Amino acid sequence: MEPILDERPLATVIIPARNEENFIEPCLRSLVEQDYPQGKMEILVIDGLSEDKTVTIVENLALTHTNIKVLRNPDRIIPSALNIGIRYSTGQIILRADAHTTYAPDYVRKCIELLLSTGASNVGGVIKPIGTDLRSKSIAIAVSSPFGVGNAYHRFARKPMWVDSVAFGCWRKSTLITLGGYDETYLANEDYELNYRLRSKGGKILLSPEVKSRYFSQCSLRGLMRQYFRYGKWKVRMLVAYPESIVFRQAAPPLFVGSLLAALCLIPLSIIPFILVAGPYALLNLLFSCRAALKNGLKCCLFLPAAFFTIHISWGAGFFAGIKAFGFPGFIKALRTRKPRKAAASSYWTRDTRRPTSNGWF
């Protein structure tokens, strides 16, 4: 039986954006074409002082879709954008969205139905990375492969499951307020940190393959390298704060990078350590690249080994950069203790920030 329109909760979709002129329009069009009533949705684009046409594109769409609004994000970082969106949202339900992504027509409805019917505190879905040319398609395949990203189930799950974290997310607003919002000291991994605090308070996170979206992947190895270097670096910040949160898939890349560097240093004495480290990895890389290419087109084999290698090396190198940036003694202490601690709410939630213009526009 179809629910009565007025009984459906008001939902706010929050989209952090900065210089997204190539992606923001498809993203917003996929949201205004949802089968969830537009009268029960508001869409807040939190713009980080874009220097391109992002705001102009959003304003033009808002002329015909009055539930779209723009808010300023003077700090120009994702967690501050999300906190601004939460603070000025009017919805009972909040969904985080990404400007590089388009959403299935039932995305919002499915998220809300699962949130209200399963006992979950956060709901997310499976992201399908897509590319526009051979290189970006190969990168999309690599970031969807267990060999590339380990057990990051939001990339490839085929059945519902309870997980540690999800991409994007859908919550009751009251849940986010209780948690204290996002911690603005995290420039990456802010979603995992928030979900860790959620789980520490007894909340459950549901990943459902019924909730579908398509993400425009990086179009170059350089962009992929920057992305995964940042992930690796800020994972250390997370581990110093919450030592018990480390899992094997996060330790594998730095162990590989460390072993490879050590083997390279030993080459003047013996090449055997390098062969023992690089040889098995190269064989595994080629094996998974060929398997993926057989499913997605043999031409992908031209770029897949490089894409896999870039993910692993960048994440591992970023991890070591994080140890340097956030303190080696603190990292070692965290690994030695690994004692669960109570996760505190973010102190940034109550910080006095500059209020956007009253109607949400520039």
pLDDT tops 60 at residue 339: no
Q: What is the mean pLDDT of residues 346-361?
A: 37
Q: Parallel, antiparallel, or unpaired for β 11-17 and 101-103?
A: unpaired
Instruction: Dump pLDDT digits (tens) for 295-318.
Output: 888 787 888 999 999 999 999 999
The verdict on domain 5-219 having CATH code 3.40.630.30 is no
> How is residue 289 written in tokens?
């690249």
Alpha-carbon dihedral sign for residues 251, 330, 230, 161: positive
Give the Cβ contact number of residue 337 at 10 Å: 11
Q: Give me the torsion for CA of 352, 42, 157, 129, rounded to 10°.
A: -90
pLDDT tops 60 at residue 341: no
Residues of the chain with CATH 3.90.550.10: 5-219
Residue of 279 and 247 predicted with greater confidence: 279
- Go through 108-127 and write b for each residue having 16 or more CB atoms within 10 A of its CB, e for each that does not: bbbbbbbbeeeebbbbbbbb
pLDDT tops 80 at residue 354: no
Q: Give me the torsion for CA of 247, 253, 255, 257, rounded to 10°.
A: -160
d(CA 204, CA 119): 8
> How is residue 44 written in tokens?
């807040």
d(CA 304, CA 290): 9
pLDDT tops 80 at residue 48: yes
Cβ neighbourhood burial of 202 (10 Å; 0-12, 13-18, 19+): exposed
d(CA 109, CA 89): 18
- Model pTM above 0.85: no
